[in-house]
Chain A
């Protein structure tokens, strides 16, 4: 009975419970910090720390929910097909926006980190911060960063984009929902895409496609940019 938290049931149950609770709170009070992902993560972390349960024990069940991300990314392909005609009208400005945003992402994160005196392994690990985890890990391995650090940064950037992206964009005068979707997918990969889907199906399709294009772009350009700036 003491080891109940070592069963998959524990991680799955606590994640579903925290998510449900977060959605209720987020639905009741419109406040930027009451974001479902952010709240769920904080709730679960507090619970684990409070009851001295290791992340590994939580992840026995948690990984099953995380696994479902794979098929969900494939499902985004179906969404593109549905929205293909609408996106095609905008294809040149859209691809330009993603490419320029994606290049600026790598250049800016590296130069700011250098200015602040970050060590070289850190810079190499945070360079692919805007792309989805599996791609970021491959890039980090190629350019000699630490995959473990990259994995953390990528998720943190995603949660930041998911929670604060739309608020920041609207404050900066970007009101067009498709532009918000493309920005979220480019800067904050899948977690940003999940937020874009809350803005609507078309912004979600823009975000998913932006994530795909930026993943490809970042894989190609990051080794060159990192060699130039370091």
Chain B
């Protein structure tokens, strides 16, 4: 478990360092995600070493978003003025995005 946590943090650091060195507008954690996938694929690290830790992180993913959600309370003033355009455009666009992505994969993808 501890070994897995160490690996995950190692790849997070690696992702952040890569973003910093390449000076690209991207998220270090997503780069870390791609790099750990490549490392597993190339057998540089073993699945059994990271899986116990990664499963635990993934299990509680929703919880880690809660503080960011609470942060929305500081947006009250902006939303008060522009609420109609913001709410309508983001809600309609989000539903449209969900539907288009979902329908294409459902229609053309293979069933499991």
Contact = CB atoms under 8 A, between A and B. Distances in A.
Interface residues of A, number: 119
Contact of B89 (A113, A162, A206): A113
A187 B82 contact: no
B37 A98 contact: no
B70 A182 contact: no
B65 A190 contact: yes
A187 B94 contact: yes
Contact of A90 (B8, B72, B94, B105): B105
B86 A118 contact: yes
A70 B12 contact: yes
Contact of B57 (A71, A188, A204): A71
A96 B104 contact: yes
A219 interface: yes
Interface string A185-218: 0111011011101000010101010111001100
Nearest to B33: A77
B30 A168 contact: no
A157 B105 contact: no
B99 A178 contact: no
Contacts, number: 331
B72 A156 contact: yes
Contacts of B5: 71
Contact of B92 (A70, A79, A112): A112
Contacts of B103: 172-174, 179
A78 interface: yes
B106 A153 contact: no
B2 interface: no
Interface string B10-26: 01100100000000011
Contact of A212 (B30, B60, B68, B89): B30
B64 A65 contact: yes
Contacts of A113: 85-86, 89
Interface of B: 5, 8-9, 11-12, 15, 25-30, 32-37, 40-41, 47, 50-51, 53-55, 57-58, 60-75, 78-79, 82, 84-86, 88-112
- Report, nearest first, the 10 A-B pairs whose CB atoms are least far apart: A101-B101, A62-B67, A138-B25, A75-B54, A41-B69, A134-B27, A183-B102, A97-B104, A118-B85, A93-B108
